[in-house]
Amino acid sequence: MKKILLVLLAAVLLFGIASCSKKEQASAEKKVITIASDATWPPMEYVDENKNIVGFDVDLMNAAAEAGGYEVVIKNTAWDGIFAGLANGEYDAVCSSVTITEERKATMDFSIPYVNAGQVLVVEAGNDTDKVLADMKGKEVGAQIGTTGAIEVQNTAGAVLKTYDEIGLAIADLANGRIAGVVADAPIAADFVLQNDEYKSKLKIVGVPFTDEYYGVAVKKGNQEILDLINAGLKKVIDSGKAKELEDKWLR
């Protein structure tokens, strides 16, 4: 009887060890996706007081990774050159409030869209004259370099584009009266104007979003493996309602 019990115990131990080994192997085999993000765009992505990269995009990518069975590493990367780094293989993807455009789709691939964020115009709180971008004729309007906001200003007759490396610098110039307006994605503008104690009494968003734009995760052209993994995770997060929860947390 003792021999039988010892044999059974040994079998249980071996099964346990094998089971743990399989779990560790599965964990070790998880695909790690490195994602570049310009962490200067609260509430989408920014560095908090503890030096951690946080925000809607960060939470979304972590949730998608958990749902899709892979892991993500977020790499803080300056916007200027972020797409060149993607093309050069310095990281696998870019998730940084990137608007899906036909021009960008020619040089990179995009995930399914995950949030709609049109452009809005921000002006000083006491400005009751400038209601739309067309009203900014002959005036300087700020936008972050290389963004769709900058493109909208460029395409507006008479408006004078002033570009910035970070949208926060444009907002600061507007608050200090150095420029007449700022064009930015609606979630970014809302964070600066509605949530920021320094600016909410000085600035306002006028009108409603004047573009219909969607954010997506950019990957190197032809990298179908990474694109499929990201899409699988994103779809589960969107279908489960988790993405909506994150929108309520960060964007409302």
Q: Which two tokens stand for residue 88?
A: 């050069």
Q: Are residues 109 and 221 in the same domain?
A: yes
Could you tell me if residue 149 is inside a domain? yes
Residue 25, pLDDT > 80, answer no
Its domain, for residue 43, covers 31-116+214-250
Q: What is the CATH number of the domain that holds 146?
A: 3.40.190.10
Higher pLDDT, 239 or 194: 239
> Does one domain contain both 163 and 185?
yes
For residue 19, being part of any structural domain is answered with no
Report pLDDT digits (tens) over 131-190.
999 999 999 999 999 999 999 999 999 999 999 999 999 999 999 999 999 999 988 898
- Position 1 in a domain: no
- The band of 28, judged by pLDDT with boundaries at 50, 70 and 90, is low
Q: Is residue 20 part of a domain?
A: no
Q: Are residues 164 and 226 in the same domain?
A: no
Domain boundary among 206, 224, 239: 206
151 & 192 share domain: yes
107 and 126 fall within a common domain: no
Check if the beta carbon of residue 65 is closer than 8 Å to that of residue 72.
yes
The token pair at 40 is 């200067």
- Residues 70 and 102 grouped into a single domain: yes
Q: Determine, yes or no, domain membership for 3.
A: no
Domains: count for the chain: 2
Q: Are residues 125 and 178 in the same domain?
A: yes
CA dihedral 138, 143, 145, 147 (to 10 degrees): -110
The tens digit of pLDDT for each residue in 203-227 reads: 999 988 898 889 999 999 999 999 9
Domain shared by 226 and 192, yes or no: no
12 inside domain: no
- Give pairs for 230-235: CB < 8 Å, separation 24+: 230/33, 230/64, 230/68, 230/93, 230/111, 231/111, 231/112, 232/67, 232/68, 233/63, 233/64, 233/65, 233/66, 233/67, 233/68, 233/69, 233/70, 234/60, 234/64, 234/68, 234/111, 234/112, 234/114, 235/112
Residue at 21 is within a domain: no
Give the separation between CA 141 and CA 137, rounded to whole angstroms: 10
Q: Is residue 220 part of a domain?
A: yes
